[in-house]
Amino acid sequence: MPLDHQHGRSLLEEAFPAAEAALLQGTPPSAPPDTQGAFDRVFSSDTQAFREVLIGCVIARLQDRSIDVRLPYVNLGPRAFNGRSLDEAVVNPFLRSRQIPSSTGPYLTKFRRSVRFDESTAAGTRDKAAYAAFLDLLSWLERHTDDREILSFLSYLLYGFAELRERSTVSVARLQRMSFEQYGTLLNGLLRVPSGGRLPVLLVLAMFKAISAALDLGWSIESQGINVADAAAGAGGDITIRRGDETVLAAEITERRVDKSRLITTFQTKIAPHGIEDYLFFTGPDQLDPEAVAQARQYFAQGHEVSFLEVANWTLMVLATIGRKGRDIFNRTLVELLSDPDVPRSVKVAWNEQIDRLLSA
């Protein structure tokens, strides 16, 4: 039975975001039993084909248990599969679309024609230790028939590719002049991307920098890294804006709900100790608690203005206000921030995908 290429691509598209999220959160999945050493060896090899072949073998194994994953050419018998067409239609396009370092052509070109993935092929491979590890992983696939076990194998395999990309260089697409409709589409698309909170912070930071430069405000803008405790760093928020010794405002950017207890904690640990009179919470849609708004009114009476803003709407309104010069500065600044080496590659790729989608619409 021919393999379903569309199903194979959908499988990868659905499974890879979990691998990216695990990498962003620093919570790697567990390797299937007795596979860790083999995975490490395959992913440290300069021969990319070994790890790329595994993706095709997993797809074949999930779709048809009768397939012999060691026989990637249909002329090798009734249990063989068309590994080359699977690579050309599914594996290689997927890896390249995610900007993962991979072979420029079908992985089977690295082997002799009508290759069998067994010990007889070892003599013709350059990295024999990695090839042996690859065979060990194939043996693991052959021994397991449960979908959950095979999907666990795929999850760890894709996590390895996510790690591989994180060690590579991903160029960030430039942002050209855009209409407000395009800005709105871009902002809404970016804020739906799982980024561990990074994209909202970068958007707000780029906008404050654009405001200061466009209006010649002379602000000193400091930002905290993701997951850096503000109190430990002596900061009033994710972003703190000063003019000389004066704190103009501080901002916290969050994707989590802002409830009353969180607001009180923020006031007690950040706003009051630093004497901040103007504090902004940037949130996503529907992330406000009415009790938090009521509590903010009490702080207003004490001389502390605590306000709540939705990232996309605020960004779009400011873009409309600061003029063409300000928008150009915002575009350049955002791309510069995204290009920083510390920004995860998954975030850069997500940005590139949003730009490509916008320009092809």
> Mind listing the pLDDT tens digit for each residue in 298-326?
988 888 899 999 999 999 999 999 999 99
Which range of 1-5, 130-134, 256-260 scores highest in mean pLDDT? It is 130-134
pLDDT-wise least confident of 31-45, 159-173, 277-291, 345-359: 277-291
Tokens of 105: 């052509």
pLDDT-wise least confident of 112-116, 186-190, 247-251, 262-266: 112-116
Q: Which amino acid is at 27?
A: T
The pLDDT score that the predictor gives to residue 230 is 47
Q: State the average pLDDT over residues 85-93.
A: 94
Task: Give the Cα separation of 253 and 246 in Å (integer).
Answer: 21
Residue 266 to residues 150, 273, 279, 306, 314, Cα–Cα distance (Å): 45, 10, 10, 10, 22
Task: Give the Cα separation of 68 and 40 in Å (integer).
Answer: 24
The pLDDT score that the predictor gives to residue 200 is 95
* Residues 16 and 154: beta-carbon distance below 8 Å: no
Residue 37 has pLDDT above 60, yes or no: yes
The pLDDT score that the predictor gives to residue 206 is 97
Residue 4 has pLDDT above 90, yes or no: yes
Residue 1 has pLDDT above 70, yes or no: no
Count of C-beta atoms within a 10 Å radius of residue 151: 14
Task: Give the Cα separation of 280 and 180 in Å (integer).
Answer: 24
pLDDT-wise least confident of 35-49, 198-212, 270-284: 270-284
The pLDDT score that the predictor gives to residue 129 is 96
DSSP 78: T
Residues 6 or more apart whose CB falls under 8 angstroms from that of 177 comprise 327, 328, 331
Confidence of residue 232 (pLDDT cuts 50, 70, 90): very low
- Regarding predicted confidence, which is higher, 194 or 230? 194
Share of the chain above pLDDT 90, in %: 76
Confidence of residue 228 (pLDDT cuts 50, 70, 90): very low
Residue 114 to residues 57, 91, 125, 332, Cα–Cα distance (Å): 16, 19, 15, 51
Three-class DSSP category at 279: strand
Residue 108 has pLDDT above 90, yes or no: no
The pLDDT score that the predictor gives to residue 225 is 67
Q: Average pLDDT, whole number, for the chain? A: 91
